[in-house]
Structure 1
Amino acid sequence: MTGQHGPPVAIVYFSETGTAQSLADHLRKQLLRLRFQAFVLDPEDVERVMTVLFAGGHDEHRPIVVLLCATTGNGEIPRHARRLWKVLLRRKLTSETCAGLLFTSFGLGDTAYARFNWAAKKVHKRILQLGGQELCKRGEGDDSASGGIEGGYATWEPILLSSLLDLYPLSNGLERIPDDILLPPEFEVRTLAPSKTKESPGTLLQSRVTPATRLGTVTVNDRITPPTHFQDTRQFKFAADENHKASQHMIPGATVLIYAQNDPEAVSALISSQNWDHIADDLLSVPAAVQKWATTTPLTLRSLLTYHLDLNAVPRATYFETLSYFSRGNEQQAEKLKEFADATNEECTQDRYDYADRPRRSALECLLEFESVKIPVAYILEVFGTLRPRQFSIAGWSNGQIELLITVVKYKTILRRIRHGVCTKYIASLKPGDKFLYEIAQPQSKPPPMDKPVVLIGPGTGVAPLRALLIERFNRGIDTPSMLVFGNRSRIADFYYENEWKAATAAQEEIDENGIMTLSGPKCTIVACFSRDGNSTRYVQQVLKRDDVAREVGRLLVHEGGYVWVCGSKGKMPRAVRSAIEEAIETVIGSNGGNAVAEMDKLGRYLEETW
C-alpha cells in the first residue's frame, strides 16, 4: 500500500468465536484507507505481541496498539490468548515496561453474564499498570443489546479513528482511499497444478493445527434419549491418542475441542454457485500463516472449504461489506448488501437482523441467495472466517477412553427451515472406528478441591463436568459431602446417568408432591427435577429454594466451607441460581447472602461454567 503515514498500528485480537478476529480485519481495512500501516496479530504469537507491547521509548515508528478482547466463560481470557496473559502478569514487569506505548481497547461481551467484559477490563487495566497511555477511552460491545456487539463497535470505531487523525492528520496531498475501491487481500489464495485426487476433501493431518492436536478413534456413539424425544443426546466415547491416555493429566472441568467439517453437499453447492468446479480440486498456494493451521493434504479449494472455513455462521455486517465488492450485474442486490453492511444505521441494522440473525441464515445461504456475487478465489479468506473447534465438557475418563455427553443441535427456524449445529451433526455421523481431530484443554479455573463439600448445579448436559468431578470423588473414596441438583424436561426421556446416581447413593428415591426426586446417600445427595413432567413447572433454581434443600446448602457453604459449581446454558438460569444460593445462605446467617456469595466468588468458591 503506497502513500502511508503515521506510525504502524498493531491490532491484537482475543477471540473465542471469531467475532473479535472479524472486527480486527475490518479495522485493519479502515486504517489502510486512512493510509496507516496496519497489521493484525494473533496473541498465540506471543513473541511478536511482546515485541510490540514492550518495545520501549517514544520512537515515532513504534506501533500504536489496539486490543479487541472477547470474554469467555466466567470472565476469562479466551483460550488462545492465555499464554500471553500469563506473560503480562509476570511479577518482574514494572510500570515502565510499556512506557511510551499508545493503546486502546474494545471489549466484546454479553450482559447475560455476571462478569460482563471482564477479560477486556483486566487486559486494559494491566497495560495501564505497565505504563501504557490511552489513545482514547476503551469501548464495549454487548451481544444482548439491540445493535449487538457490532452496534457498540460502530459507535466506538469513529472515536478511535478520530483520535488517530488528531495525532497524525493526512498531509502531503494524501487522501482517504474511497470505500468503493477494493483493497488487496491480506492472505491471497492462488490455484496451482491440478491435484491427483479428484472430488476428495483430503486426508487429515493431526499435527498441523496446534502441537496439542491429536487423532481420536470413536468407540461409542449411542443415542441415549428415546427416538420419539425431540432431542438427540449422545453418549460419545473415544480412544485417546497415546499422549493423552495418562488420566492423571485430566482434571474435572477439562474440555475436548473437536474439529468438525462442513457437509460435502454444502461445499459442492458453494463450489457450483461460484463456478469453481473446474478448479475445486487443484492444489492451492496459501500464505505461511494459513499453512500453519491446514489440517488436510493435499490442500485444495475443496479441502479448504470442507475443513477450514466456516460456511454456517450467521453473517455479521463485515461479511456483507466484503460481498458487496463482488456483486456484478444486479444493482438492487449490490445496494442491499451495502445496506446490510452499514452497522451505524439503525434501520439497516434492523433489516440485517431480520434477514440474517432472526431466521439464523448461514453465510452460505446468504451467498446462494445473492446470486450476483462471484468471489475471486484470491479473496476467499477475506469472505469466510475460520471453522473453529467446538468445546465439550468431559463427562468422564477411564482406560484411555474419554466420555462426552453431547446434544445434537437441530431446530426449525421461523422460515420453517431445519438448522443443524455443524460440529454436533458431524459428531452424530461418526461411527465406531472413525477418526477425528481433537485437543484437550484444561480448565482455566480450578475445580472444587476434593476435601471440601460441593453443591453442584447442572441442568441438561451441564451435568457432564459435574459427573466427572463426582466420579473422581467416588473412585478416590472421598467422603466429604456432595450435593448435585440436576434438571431436565422429562425423567423418562432425559434423566442423564440415573442408574449411576442410584448406584452411587445406594438410596431409595423419594418424590415430593411437586415431582422432585431425592436420592440421599451417606455422603452424596442427588436432587432432580423435570420441568415438563406433571402440571407444574420446576427448575433447578426452584429446587434450591425448597426448605430442606436450602437449609442443607446453607449449612454446607457457611459451616463447612463448601464450594458451588454451576454448569449449563447462559441466560436466566445462572442468575436465578445465584439468587437462590444467596437466599439459602441467608437461612443460616440471617443477613445479606449477596455479600457472602460475592466473597465466595472472590475466593474462587463460587464457580460458573456457562455457554
Structure 2
Amino acid sequence: MKLLILYATSMGHSKAIAQTVSENLECYKFEDKRVMAINQYEKEKLIDEDIVIFICSTIGNGAEPKMMKEFWEYLLREELPGYILSTIHFAVFGCGDSRFKLFNAPSKRLYRRLLQLGANPINERGIGDARNENGHDQTLYPWIDDLKKNMEEKCLVGAAENIKKRSNFSVEFINNDLKINADPLVRNNKANEIYEVIKNDRVTPNDYLRDTRSIHLKSTNTLNYNPGDIIDIVPVNLQSEVAEAIVKLQWEENADKPFIIKADDTIELPISWENTQTLRNLLENSLDLFGMPSLKMVLSLYSSIENNLNDEEKKRLSDIESFVKSCIKDKKSIFDILCEFPTKDLKIEEIIDIIPTLKARSYSIASSRKVSGDNIIELIIGVNEFTNYNNERRVGIATKWISTLEPSQKIYAEVKEGVMKFNSFADKPVIMICTGTGIASIRCCLQERIAQGQKENYLFFGYRNTNCDDYFANELKKYVEEGNVKLFLAPSRDQPEKIYVQDKLKENAELIYELIDKKNAYIIVSGNANTIPSAVKTALKSIYIQEGGINENQASSNIQELQDKEIYQEECY
C-alpha cells in the first residue's frame, strides 16, 4: 500500500500536524510514503493512490488556505463521476478555531466531497480546535489512535511493529568554520521581503503598566495591501538569553561545533537550515526554546530520555496530557521543562525533534497606503508581559524581540491577506468597534475610507486610561473636527465605575439600531478574541430587543444573519 499525506496550510500548523501523523505511522511498512503540500501534488494522480490523509487548515471565517484552491476546484468539477475515487481510502483532519461560526468548514466540505466521489473513509473526520487547552493536539492524538486501529481492521496495513521512534533529521559534524549565507544586517532569517525599521517608539508612558510600540517598516518594493491585511513576522530569540540557556542546560560542549543537517525523505528541510549550522545558531534563530510546550513536544522529549528517567520523573510524565496542561497553567516554557529533566546528553538531532521551530506572528497593518505611501507599513504592537508559576516576570518571545529593534535595522516579513473584507463595505456606513491595539486594522480602514471621501464612520474605542493607551488620539481628534468620524470613547479606568465599549453601544442604542436597520451599516469588531466579540454581540442583542421590539431568540437570529451575510465582521486575536 502507498501512503500519501497532503496538507493545506497558511501559518504552518497543518504542515506540522502532517509530519506528526507521518511519524506516528512509522510503525507500519508502506510501499511508498510521502508528505506533501497540496499545491505541489499532481491532483490528476489522485485516483492512483491507495491511502490519502488530508490535513486542512481554516482561514478566517471558514475559508480554505490559498494553496488548496486549485485542488478544491478540481474536486468540484461537475464532470467527475461519483465513483472516480472508489479505489482509495482516505482520512481528514481539520484545524480551526471554535470562536468562528464556520469552524473547520474546509475539512467538512472536503470530507463530504470525497464521499460523493466514492472514496472510502478510514475513520471519522478529525476536528482540531486551537481553543483547546492543548490546542489541536488534544484531539489529534486520539484521532491518530483511531486511524491506526481502523487501518489495521480494514487490512490496509500489517501488524504494527514495535520500533523506537527515529529522528527525522541526521547531523554531520564538519571541520570548517561556520558560514551562513545571510545578510548580517537582517535581524531574523526568514526568506521573505526585507523591511527596514524606520521607527520603533514606545507610545505609552515609561511608568505605565503596558509597553506599546509604534513601529514603521519600509520596503524597497511597492506594496500592495488592503485594509484588514496583516504582516507576518518570524521572531528570533535574544542571543543573551540563549547563551544563558545553553549554560544552564549544559550544552556548551556542542554549542558551537559546525554541522550539516540532513532530512529524511518524508520531511522538507527548512531553507534556513540548508547552510552550515551550530546548535547556538539554531537556538537563536530557528527553535522555539522559550515557547509554550505541547503534547508533541513532551512526547518527543519522553521518547528521547525515557531510559534516563528515575521512577519519580517517569511518574510525573506518566500522564503526558495532564503534565502539559499543568505546565501551560503554570506558564512554563519549553526551556523550563528541559531544565527539570536529564537533557544534558541529548543529541543535536533529538533537540531538533523536541523543540518546535519558531512560527510567524501576525500583526494587523495600522496604516493605509493612501496615507502612508506605497512602501511604508505602520504597526501598533503591545509587548506581552506576564508572570509565571514562580512569580517571575516573562515577556512574549515575539514582542520582546520586536521591542529591541532599532531604526536602520532590517527584518524579514511577509504581507498576507487578512479576514476583513473591506471592499464589501467600502461605500456603506460602518460601525467600528475596537479595544486596545485592536485599533490597528480599524485605523487602516478609517484612513482608507476618509481618503475615499466616506464620512459615515462611527468609531467606538475602548482603552484603559486617557493619555496612556488611547492610541492615535490626536489623529482621531483631527478626524472628528473635520467631520470625518463620530467618536465614542470608553476609557475604562478613568473613573471609579468602569466603562466599556459595550456600555457605549447601549448608550447609543437608537443610533446603532437606525444605522443597522435603516442605513444597512456594516459592523467591524477588532480586539481581544476572548472578550470583545461576546461583549459586542450581547450589547447588540439588547439593542435589537430594546429598539426593535423583538424577543431574545429573534435578536440572536438577526445577529446571526448579519454574520452569515458578513455584514458583521470580526478581526480579533
Offset, 1:364: 1.9
Determine the structure 2 residue equivalent to 1:8: 2
Counterpart secondary structure, 1:438? strand
Counterpart secondary structure, 1:32? coil
Offset, 1:376: 1.4
Q: What is the letter of the counterpart of residue 259 of structure 1?
A: V
2:435 and 2:268 map into 1 onto residues whose CA distance is: 39
1:206 and 1:232 map into 2 onto residues whose CA distance is: 21
In structure 2, stretches of 5+ residues that fail to align are: none
1:389 and 1:320 map into 2 onto residues whose CA distance is: 22
Candidates 466, 471, 482, aligned match of 2:442: 466
Please tell me whether residue 551 in structure 1 is matched to residue 510 in structure 2. yes
Please tell me whether residue 375 in structure 1 is matched to residue 346 in structure 2. yes
Candidates 74, 78, 85, aligned match of 2:69: 85
1:484 and 1:551 map into 2 onto residues whose CA distance is: 16
Please tell me whether residue 203 in structure 1 is matched to residue 184 in structure 2. yes
Offset, 1:71: 3.6
Counterpart secondary structure, 1:286? strand
- Residue by residue over 1:256-296, the C-alpha shift from the partner in whole angstroms, topping out at 9 and shown as x without a partner, is 11121112133334544353544524142334965553189
Matching of residues 166-565 of structure 1 within 5 Å: 166-168=153-155, 175-178=159-162, 181-196=163-178, 203=184, 209=190, 213-242=192-221, 245-246=222-223, 249-272=224-247, 273=249, 275-278=251-254, 280-287=256-263, 292-294=270-272, 299-327=277-305, 329-332=308-311, 335-336=314-315, 338-341=317-320, 349-354=321-326, 356-372=327-343, 374-396=345-367, 397=369, 398-399=372-373, 400-447=375-422, 448-479=424-455, 481-506=456-481, 522-546=483-507, 549-565=508-524
1:205 and 1:63 map into 2 onto residues whose CA distance is: 45
1:470 and 1:170 map into 2 onto residues whose CA distance is: 57
1:276 and 1:182 map into 2 onto residues whose CA distance is: 28
Offset, 1:600: 2.4
Q: What is the letter of the counterpart of residue 170 of structure 2?
A: E
2:30 and 2:310 map into 1 onto residues whose CA distance is: 32
1:598 and 1:47 map into 2 onto residues whose CA distance is: 38
Q: 1:88 to 1:277 in 2, by over 3 A?
A: same
Q: 1:279 to 1:495 in 2, by over 3 A?
A: closer
Counterpart secondary structure, 2:459? strand
Please tell me whether residue 573 in structure 1 is matched to residue 544 in structure 2. no
Q: What is the letter of the counterpart of residue 184 of structure 2?
A: T
2:187 and 2:394 map into 1 onto residues whose CA distance is: 29
Q: What is the percent sequence identity of the aligned residues?
A: 25
Q: What is the letter of the counterpart of residue 257 of structure 1?
A: D
1:530·1:539 contact (CA, 8 Å) conserved in 2? yes
2:274 and 2:381 map into 1 onto residues whose CA distance is: 26
- Residue by residue over 1:339-382, the C-alpha shift from the partner in whole angstroms, topping out at 9 and shown as x without a partner, is 253xxxxxxx333322x111121112211221345321233332
Offset, 1:131: 4.4
Offset, 1:308: 1.7
How many residue pairs match? The answer is 558
2:210 and 2:188 map into 1 onto residues whose CA distance is: 35
Determine the structure 2 residue equivalent to 1:511: none
1:553·1:585 contact (CA, 8 Å) conserved in 2? no
Q: 1:387 to 1:503 in 2, by over 3 A?
A: same
Q: 1:17 to 1:536 in 2, by over 3 A?
A: farther
Q: 1:286 to 1:225 in 2, by over 3 A?
A: same
Counterpart secondary structure, 2:458? strand
2:120 and 2:490 map into 1 onto residues whose CA distance is: 53
1:415 and 1:216 map into 2 onto residues whose CA distance is: 38
Determine the structure 2 residue equivalent to 1:609: 571
Q: What is the letter of the counterpart of residue 301 of structure 1?
A: L
2:151·2:157 contact (CA, 8 Å) conserved in 1? no
1:75·1:116 contact (CA, 8 Å) conserved in 2? yes
1:188·1:381 contact (CA, 8 Å) conserved in 2? no
Offset, 1:393: 0.4
2:50 and 2:184 map into 1 onto residues whose CA distance is: 41
| Alignment TM-score, normalising by the size of structure 1 | 0.83
2:46 and 2:56 map into 1 onto residues whose CA distance is: 23
After alignment, is 81-90 or 408-417 more displaced?
A: 81-90
- Residue by residue over 1:299-342, the C-alpha shift from the partner in whole angstroms, topping out at 9 and shown as x without a partner, is 4333222222211221122212211233254423651474253x
1:295 and 1:329 map into 2 onto residues whose CA distance is: 29
Offset, 1:438: 0.8
Q: 1:207 to 1:388 in 2, by over 3 A?
A: closer
Counterpart secondary structure, 1:538? coil
Q: 1:559 to 1:333 in 2, by over 3 A?
A: same
1:557·1:585 contact (CA, 8 Å) conserved in 2? no
Q: What is the letter of the counterpart of residue 40 of structure 2?
A: E
Offset, 1:496: 0.8
Offset, 1:538: 2.0
- Residue by residue over 1:91-140, the C-alpha shift from the partner in whole angstroms, topping out at 9 and shown as x without a partner, is 54654464533222233444444443334323333444454332221132
- Residue by residue over 1:125-174, the C-alpha shift from the partner in whole angstroms, topping out at 9 and shown as x without a partner, is 34444543322211324454567543333433332212111112665xxx
Q: What is the letter of the counterpart of residue 584 of structure 1?
A: I
Q: What is the letter of the counterpart of residue 33 of structure 1?
A: C
2:138 and 2:233 map into 1 onto residues whose CA distance is: 31
2:304·2:350 contact (CA, 8 Å) conserved in 1? no
1:301 and 1:124 map into 2 onto residues whose CA distance is: 42
Offset, 1:587: 4.9
2:129 and 2:178 map into 1 onto residues whose CA distance is: 48
Offset, 1:599: 2.4
- Residue by residue over 1:373-400, the C-alpha shift from the partner in whole angstroms, topping out at 9 and shown as x without a partner, is 5321233332122211111000004132
Q: What is the letter of the counterpart of residue 601 of structure 1?
A: Q
After alignment, is 222-231 or 331-340 more displaced?
A: 331-340
Candidates 93, 99, 104, aligned match of 1:106: 93
